[in-house]
Amino acid sequence: MKPLLVALAIFLMFTPHLSHAASPPDYLAKERFELRLRALGVIPQEKSDVNIGGDVKVSNAITPEVDLTYFLTPNIATEIIAGTARHTLSHSSGPTLGQTWILPPTVTVQYHFLPEEKFNPYLGVGLNYSIFYHENTTGAFSDLNISNGFGPVAQVGFDYWINKNWGLNLDIKKIWLNVDASLNNGAVKADVDIDPWLAGVGVAYRF
């Protein structure tokens, strides 16, 4: 939870001061839609229970990600993200088990604290559904199968507007995700809490 708490502490510290700062009319947030393109780091915090002992390790990944946000009111918005990343799975004893792609569509509801200011921090909560596809194995292993799964999401971030339409974005999400995995036609089984951090930075466009 440390990255989420640090980001939350930073923008709460600055929010009271920025809320009183005058902003030019060009920065007033009147548009309903916001499109963001981010570079996203996916950092699993995995824990696992494997029937042959040891632990399953899931590699980090960096991938492009796009999201679309719709403002229901100036302060309340809903966001959906789309992106996909490839991860390598290995056993704590050393061997690589295989690779998989993850498609994690995620929907959050956000509260934007300063929608009419250049610096606009927000908090969000939501739901993730992670889809695993193109699983493949290496070495002596075969038949990698990973179940899809739902997980709750917490989010903290901010937009910094350069002009009326364009801005910069920093966004951090935490997903709590549990999946079942198997190898060698079910001979090897694992219950895995992946629980990744998603840290993204990129550009935002309001329209």
**53-66: per-residue pLDDT in tens?**
999 999 999 999 99
Rounded distance between C-alpha atoms, residue 200 and residue 27, angstroms: 23
Residue 2, number of CB atoms within 10 A of its CB: 7
Whole-prediction pTM? 0.84
Q: Is 73 helix (H, G, I), strand (E, B) or coil?
A: coil
Strand partners, 34: 69, 206
Q: Is 3 helix (H, G, I), strand (E, B) or coil?
A: helix
Query: What residue ranges in the chain does DSSP mark as E strands?
Result: 33-43, 47-50, 56-58, 61-71, 76-83, 85-91, 96-103, 106-112, 119-137, 145-146, 149-161, 166-175, 178-183, 188-193, 197-206
Rounded distance between C-alpha atoms, residue 58 and residue 66, angstroms: 23
Task: Count structural domains, the chain.
Answer: 1
Query: Over the stretch 1-31, which tens digit does the pLDDT of each residue have?
Result: 555 555 555 555 555 544 444 444 444 556 8
CATH number at residue 64: 2.40.160.20
**Paired tokens of 37:** 């393109």
pLDDT one digit per residue (tens) for the chain, 207 residues? 555 555 555 555 555 544 444 444 444 556 899 999 999 999 999 999 999 999 999 999 999 999 999 999 999 999 999 999 999 999 999 899 999 999 999 999 999 999 989 999 999 999 999 999 999 998 889 999 999 999 999 999 999 999 989 999 999 999 999 999 999 999 999 999 999 999 999 999 999
69-101 in b/e form (b: 16+ CB < 10 A) is bebeeeeebebebebbbebebbbeeeeebbbbb
What is the extent of the structural domain holding 58?
A: 2-19+27-206
pLDDT of residue 31: 81
Strand partners, 114: none
Run of H or E including 15: helix 2-18
